[in-house]
């Protein structure tokens, strides 16, 4: 009897140790799955495929309203195996994306629902979000906040490359826009003027990248053919005059001036090669800004852009204005490229704020436009070499007493860029600083707060998110196998002691 009690004590002691070890492992994994320490995650993939873009991460982290993300997915049973695998892959990537978003903010809840196997749970989501039951059909992602719903079908989350046949996942951009749309306090619209050769925001070789950028920031994009007398839509937040190639007629300029006087905001990006004459006169009359002569070109004595001598590269001359200050404070070196810059001078001091200036010593050449001489004659001084650079972008706020003394305080804000070509798709796609500067300018014109401006360019943060297969493998390696090994060892110890 004593021997039996001893054996039972050993067995109970061993079982208790195994149970405690399993509880410890399970507890650690439970805490890790809920990410109690923000930032304690890493992306170990070679291409950082599980890392959110800093802009997306900033939006998810900054939400102030509760946001619910629900992935409705019912696996396709039967039918085409290739299509079933494709839909399952989209669902897997979408699930990872939603979990990434929920890790970044305690106000974001994410869940995946199978309406076939768990209809009660799906019905609860539909009732809680107010989604029309007739719309709760198919595979989609539901984004809900402030009583607003955005339904994102799988067809918008991904596409298949026609040449390679590979899946291209666009979920991050689509989710970014949906979260901004349901959480924004008000709707903002950027309207582009048309009819005088302006940049076309629908053409891929012109302004499509710009409209895509604004669409990502949840702006509505509008167009108004001012040449035909179309009225400027009253919901327009910013009226964009981007690189007009022809002169505006006087009637159009009068309408633009009236829009500005009544509180409308203007984004003016001049055509540096041949700026519209009456637009130059308009800027002079309204804001005392002088666009230099038609055949005058601004040059950089540093020859930073040797292959394009009439292009200006700015990497340090950012001002402390809210539009350009984030670029000046960027950890990484921010470089803004302005092709074919038209020199600007001010006819009156304190009329506006500089956003950025050309490099010190830059000068203008009216004799050889588009050409920077490789050397100068001995003893010849470069014109403007003693200057502090020319203004390349200006911001005007009539509500400031020192700005535009003749303007009414009710007039809107104005931003003027010395190069309209900096907004082309080729440059915006390649130069992140160009995109950040232009986006910040539109944010400032639209009256967004400082917190909503694009943050300095930064390296992506590591953020480890495991796929479902990896998660299962880790569960077996960390939870099941150690527990099984302890049980086996316990049994061996028991058998040895019994023998």
3-state helix, strand, coil in the chain (%, to 5): 40, 20, 45
**pLDDT score for 69:** 95
Q: How far apart are CA 182 and CA 175, in angstroms?
A: 11
- pLDDT confidence of residue 111: 93
Predicted local confidence at residue 267, as pLDDT: 94
pTM score, whole prediction:
0.61
Strand ranges (E), 166-229: 167-169, 189-194, 220-225
- What pLDDT is attached to residue 462? 39
C-alpha radius of gyration, the chain, whole number: 30
The domain made up of 189-452 is a member of CATH 2.50.20.10: no
- How would DSSP label each residue in 16-52? HHHHHHHHHHHHHHHHHHT-SSTT-----STT-TT--
pLDDT at 48: 47
Alpha-carbon span 26 to 481, nearest angstrom: 12
Q: Write out pLDDT tens, residues 318-356.
A: 888 888 888 887 666 678 888 877 777 766 656 788 888
C-alpha distances in Å from residue 245, one per residue of 210, 249, 328, 392? 18, 13, 32, 19
Domain limits, the chain: 9-38+473-498, 54-183, 189-452
* CA–CA–CA angle 46, 87, 472 (5° rounding): 55
CA distance 386 to 4: 100
Say if domain 54-183 classifies as CATH 1.10.3720.10.
Answer: no
Residue 382: per-residue pLDDT: 41
- The SS3 assignment for 330 reads coil
- Beta carbons of 271 and 221 less than 8 angstroms apart: no
In this prediction, residue 380 carries a pLDDT of: 41
String of DSSP letters for 75-130 = ---SS-HHHHHHHHHHHHHHHHHHHHHHHH-TTEEEEEE-TTT-HHHHHHHHHHHT
Q: What is the pLDDT of residue 404?
A: 53
Q: Which residues pair with 145 in a beta bridge?
A: 148
How confident is the chain (499 residues) per 10-residue block, as mean pLDDT? 65 74 72 52 50 80 90 84 89 92 91 92 92 87 89 89 81 86 80 90 84 80 91 91 88 91 91 71 79 66 69 82 83 77 69 81 57 39 52 84 59 89 84 87 83 46 51 72 78 75
């Amino acid at each position: 009897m004593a021997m039996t009690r001893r054996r039972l004590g050993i067995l109970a002691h061993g079982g208790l140790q195994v149970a405690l070890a399993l509880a410890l492992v399970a507890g650690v994994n439970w805490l890790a799955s809920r990410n109690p320490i923000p930032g304690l995650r890493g992306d170990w993939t070679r291409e950082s495929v599980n890392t959110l873009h800093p802009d997306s991460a900033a939006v998810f982290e900054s939400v102030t309203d509760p946001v619910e993300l629900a992935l409705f997915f019912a696996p396709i049973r039967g039918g085409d195996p290739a299509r079933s695998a494709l839909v399952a892959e989209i669902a897997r990537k979408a699930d990872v994306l939603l979990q990434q978003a929920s890790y970044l903010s305690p106000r974001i809840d994410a869940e995946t629902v199978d309406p076939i196997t768990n209809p009660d749970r799906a019905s609860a989501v539909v009732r809680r979000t107010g989604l029309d039951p007739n719309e709760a059909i198919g595979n989609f992602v539901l984004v809900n906040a402030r009583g607003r719903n955005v339904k994102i079908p799988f067809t918008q989350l991904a596409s298949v490359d026609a040449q390679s046949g590979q899946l291209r996942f666009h979920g991050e951009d689509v989710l970014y826009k949906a979260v901004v749309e349901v959480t924004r306090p008000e709707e903002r619209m950027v309207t582009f003027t048309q009819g005088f050769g302006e940049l076309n925001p629908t053409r891929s070789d012109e302004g499509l990248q710009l409209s895509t950028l604004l669409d990502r920031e949840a702006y509505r994009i509008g167009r108004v053919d001012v040449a035909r007398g179309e009225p400027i839509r009253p919901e327009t937040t910013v009226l964009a005059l981007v690189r007009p190639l022809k002169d505006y007629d006087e009637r159009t300029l009068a309408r633009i001036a009236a829009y500005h006087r009544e509180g409308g905001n203007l984004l003016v990006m001049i055509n540096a090669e041949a700026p519209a004459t009456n637009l130059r006169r308009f800027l002079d009359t309204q804001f005392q800004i002088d666009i230099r002569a038609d055949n005058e070109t601004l040059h950089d004595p540093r020859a930073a852009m040797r292959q394009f001598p009439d292009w200006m590269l700015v990497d340090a001359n950012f001002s402390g204005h809210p539009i350009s200050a984030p670029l000046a404070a960027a950890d990484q070196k921010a470089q803004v490229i302005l092709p074919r810059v038209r020199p600007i001078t001010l006819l009156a001091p304190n009329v506006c704020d500089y956003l950025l200036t050309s490099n010190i010593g830059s000068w203008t050449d009216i004799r050889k436009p588009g050409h920077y001489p490789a050397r100068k004659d001995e003893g010849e001084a470069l014109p403007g070499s003693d200057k502090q650079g020319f203004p390349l972008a200006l911001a005007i706020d009539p509500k400031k007493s020192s700005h535009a003394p003749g303007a009414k305080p009710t007039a809107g804000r104005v931003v003027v860029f010395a190069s309209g070509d900096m907004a082309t798709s080729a440059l915006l796609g390649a130069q992140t600083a160009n995109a950040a500067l232009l986006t910040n300018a539109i944010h400032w014109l639209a009256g967004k707060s400082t917190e909503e401006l694009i943050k300095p360019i930064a390296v992506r943060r590591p953020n480890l998110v495991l796929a479902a297969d990896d998660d299962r493998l880790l569960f077996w390696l960390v939870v099941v196998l150690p527990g099984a090994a302890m049980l086996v060892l316990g049994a061996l110890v028991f058998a040895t002691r019994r023998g």
